[in-house]
Amino acid sequence: MNKFLKVVLIMIFVIIITFGFSYCHQVHSTDKLEFYKNKANGLDIISVYDTDDLTTEILTNRRANGKLIIERIFGEVVNAETGEGRIFSNQGDFYINYSRVKGIRNGDIIMTLDIYNPDTDYEDDIIDRFDYIIDRE
């Protein structure tokens, strides 16, 4: 499967996990919804971690564990002109840049999904990044 198709399928799966199954609930009965939720939870190939939960050990062992690691980052736009932002973390203040996100404003809350390369164990080998504005002041 080519890399683009793989990333698209992964993002669809992540969006469903991140935002829930509300659309599916409208289409399917409750029994079918529960069945598919359980089936998705059983696919042990993708792991989504919030920033504070992702460790170097997890990143540097993902190839051996056969995992596709996705980091979910929540942050705030500090300076919309430069793209400067800060990551919400219990471990301290971390910088993130949102300059490639169109239409941002100071105070916007952004959810970023970083997809790490499943073929390496380098802790900075991100193959794709997706940013979503999830709240505005």
Q: What is the CA radius of gyration of the chain?
A: 16
Percentage of the chain modeled with pLDDT above 90: 55
Identify the residue with better confidence: 37 or 121: 121
Identify the residue with better confidence: 112 or 24: 112
Residue type, 40: A
Mean pLDDT of 3-30: 55
**What's the token pair of residue 90?**
């219990």
Q: Residue 7: which H helix or E strand, with range?
A: helix 3-19
Q: What is the pTM of this model?
A: 0.69
Residue 135 has pLDDT above 70, yes or no: yes
Q: Residue 13: which H helix or E strand, with range?
A: helix 3-19
Please give the mean pLDDT across all residues of the chain.
82
Mention every residue, 6+ apart, whose C-beta is less than 8 A from residue 65. Answer: none
Q: What is residue 112's three-state secondary structure?
A: strand
Residue 128 has pLDDT above 60, yes or no: yes
Q: Residue 92: which H helix or E strand, with range?
A: none
Strands in the chain per DSSP E: 46-50, 68-79, 84-87, 94-97, 109-116, 126-135
State pLDDT tens for residues 93-125.
899 999 999 999 999 999 999 999 989 999 999
Q: For the chain, which residues make up each domain, given as ranges?
A: 1-43, 45-137
If you average pLDDT over each of 6-20, 21-35, 37-51, 120-134, which comes out highest? Answer: 120-134
